Amino acid sequence: MTRFVFLTKTRWEEPPRIRHQLAQLLASAGHEVCFFEKPAPPWRGLPAPRTGAPGITVARHHELIHHKLRLLPLAHQLNAAVVVSSLRAAARRGVFGKDAVVVNFNYDYCFLRRVFPGQRLITMINDDFVSTALFGIEAPLRWALARTCRDSDRVLTVSAPLQEQLAPYCRAELFLPWADQPYAAPDAGASRDTLLFWGFINNKVDFALLRAMSEQFAGTRPNLKLMLVGPVEQGVDEQLSALRARGNVEVLPATSLDRLPLGRVLAGLIPYRAGVAEIEAIALPNKALQLLARGLPLLIAGMPRFIREPFVFRLDDGPVAAVLDRVAARFGDLQTDIREFVAANCERARLTQFLQLAA
């Protein structure tokens, strides 16, 4: 049994991302995980550690300044002093063991050796943080990212574009998402009239494309529906309301895939906006393998570096109607390719890979 400390800026209760899934994967294999979720400002008290799942303790630490607001080295230094002090206090309380492997999901934690001297330190970069710099001021982010990577024993990332971005600082290794369950063959005789978007509903979504699809379906495919399922983030209420008003668009709150009517779903829909740097870096989002494990082909937009597989259909590869016809005609034949891909990207494969990296 190995102890792990996860350092994240994500709430444990949020829809699962790779950090949640990796914690659960390790815990299911008998390891212990202390998952530090979104930090709190130092003027707020910290809640007592709680159980997030069997084998997983959820805790918080303090943070002084939001990472995007640290535009000067002094801001990084002051913030580091607060985080280091808070993590050391957690160590004294026995929240995590001195022999734990540290798994860091933050690009800006270049001070961790002060808290975890001599311990295995793995950093996972799974977002293009530089492209989201406040006011386009990238230098502070690159400064922190370089130091964090150089101070780590291993650096992992989830796509080739991010691997290329990290090349000046370190030799990053690919660590792709994985399916959360074995492949399950879909009902071959089901009548499929729904395209499913499952994930965060935010400004990454190409709402113009969704509106165009909705209008086209209303005139030519009145039985076809768009189903959007997930938490709604700020800034998209107006666009989402316009979609909701259409009779062929259904919006649901965050719901597990297995509680949705998947027998009606023709394909998983991942329609992101083109020309956005952080979107262009995506090769295989976490949600993709969850959809594939249920036997659903993928309809995508806006991600030029997305994996090329027979079950991935681009909405810009021709008229949407023609793309949908190809998906419907090949739905059954695609299952062999989907099953083999899910088997090659299963929990066991990722667990073995990660434990080798952590050793």
pLDDT at 36: 97
- Out of 219-223, 224-228, 269-273, least confident range: 219-223
- Residue 152: which of 83, 105, 82 has the closest Cα? 105
- Max CA separation in the chain (angstroms): 65
* Tokens 């130092």 belong to residue: 42
- Check: CATH 3.90.1200.10 for 194-342? no
Instruction: Write down the number of H helices and E strands in the chain.
Output: 11, 14
pLDDT at 135: 63
How far is residue 231's CA from residue 215's CA, in Å, rounded to a whole number?
Answer: 24
Quickly name the fold that domain 3-175 has. Rossmann fold (3.40.50)
Q: What are phi and psi of 300, to 5 degrees?
A: -125, 165
CB 129 within 8 A of CB 107: yes
* Distance spanning both ends of the chain, measured CA to CA: 12
Region 26-33: what's the mean pLDDT?
96
Asked whether residue 137 carries a pLDDT value surpassing 80, the answer given is no
pLDDT at 279: 83
Question: Which pairing describes strands 56-59 and 50-53: parallel, antiparallel, or unpaired?
Answer: antiparallel
- Dig out the tokens for 95 from the structure: 């929240």
CB 293 within 8 A of CB 181: yes
Residue 136, Ramachandran bin (φ over 0: left; ψ between -120 and 50: alpha; else beta) = left
pTM summary value: 0.80
CB 326 within 8 A of CB 320: no
* Neighbour count for residue 277 (Cβ, 10 Å): 12
- Residue 153: which of 119, 126, 177 has the closest Cα? 119
Per residue in 248-290, pLDDT tens?
999 999 999 999 999 999 999 999 998 877 788 788 888 999 9
How far is residue 149's CA from residue 170's CA, in Å, rounded to a whole number?
Answer: 6
Kindly list the distances between the CA atom of residue 321 and the CA atoms of 207, 226, 269, 324, 326, in Å, as whole numbers in the listed order: 18, 14, 14, 5, 9
- Range from 36-40, 164-168, 344-348 that averages highest in pLDDT: 36-40
CB 122 within 8 A of CB 154: yes
Asked whether residue 132 carries a pLDDT value surpassing 80, the answer given is no
More confident residue, 88 or 318: 88
Region 152-177: what's the mean pLDDT?
91
pLDDT at 209: 94
Question: What does the domain layout of the chain look like in residue ranges?
Answer: 3-175, 194-342
pLDDT at 243: 87
